[in-house]
Chain A
Amino acid sequence: MKKFGFFGLLLLSLSLLVATGCSKKVSSIPSGSTAAVDCNVQGSLTPEQLQAQRLAEMQREVIERIAANKIYFAFDSNELSQESRQILTDKAQMLKANPNLILLIEGHCDERGTNEYNLALGERRSRAAYEYLVLAGIASTRLQIISYGEEYPAVQGTGEAVWGKNRRDEFKASAK
Chain B
Amino acid sequence: MRTCFLFLIMSLLASNLWAASVLNVDIYGPGQTRVNLFLAPPLPREQAGSLAIIPDNAPEQLQRRIQANCAFLPFFKILAPQDIVGGPSSGGYVGKNIDFNKFRLSRADVLVTAAWARAGALGEVELRAYEVYNGRLIVGKGYSLLSSQQIPEAAARFCADLMEALTGHGDFFRSNLAFVKKEGARKQIYMSTAQGLNVQKITNLDGICVSPAWSHDGQKLAFVFLDKRRHNLCVWDRRTRNLVREHLPGNTLIAPAFTNDGSVAITLDIGGNPDIYRLAPNFRIAGPIVQNWGIDIGPDFDRSGRKMVFVSNRLGNPHIFIKDLASGNVRRVSMTGKYNTGPSISPDGSQVVFAQMMSGGRHKLFLVDLASGYERQLTFGPGSDEDPTWSPDGYFIAFSSDRTGPNQIYLTTKHGDEPILIPTGPGVSTSPAWGKL
Contact = CB atoms under 8 A, between A and B. Distances in A.
A and B touch in the complex (CB under 8 A): yes
A116 B386 CA distance: 11
A123 B431 contact: no
Contacts of B387: 114
Interface in B258-307: 267, 269, 272-274, 295, 297-298
A113 B339 contact: yes
Nearest to B187: A151
Nearest to B317: A76
Interface stretch (A20-28, A88-96, A141-149): A141-149
B311 A117 contact: yes
B66 interface: no
Most chain A CB within 10 A, of B254, B355, B387, is at B254
A116 B230 contact: no
Nearest to B357: A113
Interface string B228-240: 0111000000000
Given A104-B229, A114-B387, A120 B295 contact: yes
Contacts of B251: 123, 126, 144-147
Contacts of A113: 339, 341, 357
Main SS of chain B's interface residues?
strand
B346 interface: no
B324 to A, nearest CB: 23
Contacts of A167: none
Contacts of A114: 341-342, 355, 363, 386-387
B295 A121 contact: yes
Contacts of B363: 114
A21 to B, nearest CB: 27
B210 interface: yes
Contacts of B267: 120
B226 interface: yes
Given A117-B295, A117-B311, A127 B342 contact: no
A144 B247 CA distance: 14
Interface in B100-134: none
Interface in B192-236: 208, 210-211, 226, 229-231
Contact of A112 (B317, B318, B361): B361
Interface string A117-142: 10111011011000000000000000
A28 B228 CA distance: 41
Main SS of chain A's interface residues?
mixed
A29 B387 CA distance: 64
Nearest to A146: B251
Interface residues of B, number: 35
Interface size class of A (residues with CB under 8 A): 20 to 34
Contacts of A127: 269, 272-273
Given A114-B342, A147-B251, A151-B208, A120 B357 contact: no
A126 B339 CA distance: 22
Interface string A147-169: 11001100000000000000000
A117 B210 contact: no
Contacts of A119: 210, 252, 254-255, 297
B208 A123 contact: no
Contact of A120 (B208, B230, B254, B355): B254
A147 B357 CA distance: 22
A127 B431 CA distance: 26
B255 A124 contact: no
Nearest to A117: B341
Contact of B229 (A76, A120, A121, A146): A146
A112 B355 CA distance: 13
A115 interface: yes
A152 B182 CA distance: 12
Contacts of B341: 113-114, 116-117
A116 B231 CA distance: 13
A146 B251 CA distance: 6
Interface string B308-350: 0001000001100000000000000000000101100000000
Nearest to A148: B226
A115 B179 CA distance: 14
Contacts of B361: 112
A146 B274 contact: no
Nearest to B252: A123
B229 A115 contact: no
10 contacts: A112-B357, A114-B342, A114-B386, A115-B430, A117-B318, A119-B252, A120-B274, A126-B251, A144-B251, A146-B226
Pairs A-B, 10 closest by C-beta atoms: A123-B252, A120-B295, A112-B361, A114-B341, A120-B274, A145-B251, A116-B255, A117-B341, A119-B254, A151-B208
Interface of B: 185, 187, 208, 210-211, 226, 229-231, 251-252, 254-255, 267, 269, 272-274, 295, 297-298, 311, 317-318, 339, 341-342, 355, 357, 361, 363, 386-387, 430-431
